[in-house]
Amino acid sequence: MAKNDFSVLEPHAGGIPTVTQYLVAKGTTSSINAGEFVIKNVGQSTYAAAFTASAATQPAVGTDYIAGFAMSTSTETTTATGFVEVMQFQPGVVYLGNPKTAANYGQGTTPSQTTYNNQVGRRVLIDVTAGVHTVLNTDGWSALSGKNGLIVEYIDITQYPGKVAFRLANGLSYLNQA
């Protein structure tokens, strides 16, 4: 996956959440990059990259559980357990990402703040194509079709050209697992 596909735009009111060192299982080499979301299943001791090419449209509330945001690249190897620095999941943090289709967010050849503003509040997903994470724009929140876990937030597109601001739905926290 590409480094820094996502970044922190605004921390929550108390500042940057706690950054903790977590275990990453051996068997891969540097599988988590800085700027990617990290998952953990309750009952397991290790953490992993949240979104891979085989799971290209996530996160869904109630299915995907995010532990936090990678602040470093993981250090595991094929034969040794490693570590990754993770900013713990904290409600209220606003992230920046690139849109899958720039025109859907009023970005591109004819920028439009109005087009971007029409996306604010949508519940969307992440797409992973050729290792690059981008933000989709289809709103999805219903009992039948699942619950898309990114919530689009307002930004001034002249200050953040080619970007989408979003928060993670609180239900994505790995602490919500039963």
Amino acid code (one letter) for 114 = T
Write the DSSP string, 29-68.
SS-S-TTSEEE--TT-S-BEES--GGG-SB-BTTT--EEE
Asked if residue 76 and residue 119 are part of one domain, the reply reads no
Asked if residue 107 and residue 70 are part of one domain, the reply reads no
pLDDT digits (tens, 9 = 90+) for 17-52: 789 999 999 988 888 999 999 988 778 888 888 876
Whether 1 maps to a domain, the answer reads no
pLDDT digits (tens, 9 = 90+) for 80-113: 999 999 999 988 899 999 999 999 999 988 889 9
Asked if residue 112 and residue 81 are part of one domain, the reply reads no
Range of the domain at 160: 94-176
pLDDT digits (tens, 9 = 90+) for 128-159: 888 888 999 988 776 555 688 899 999 999 99
Asked if residue 74 and residue 119 are part of one domain, the reply reads no
Asked if residue 105 and residue 61 are part of one domain, the reply reads no
Domain boundary among 60, 88, 116: 88
Whether 63 maps to a domain, the answer reads yes
- Global pTM value: 0.88
Higher pLDDT, 79 or 50: 79
Average pLDDT of the chain, as a whole number: 86
Amino acid code (one letter) for 124 = V
pLDDT at 65: 87
CB 11 within 8 A of CB 147: no
Q: Helix %, strand %, coil % for the chain, to 5?
A: 10, 35, 55
Domain boundary among 88, 106, 135: 88
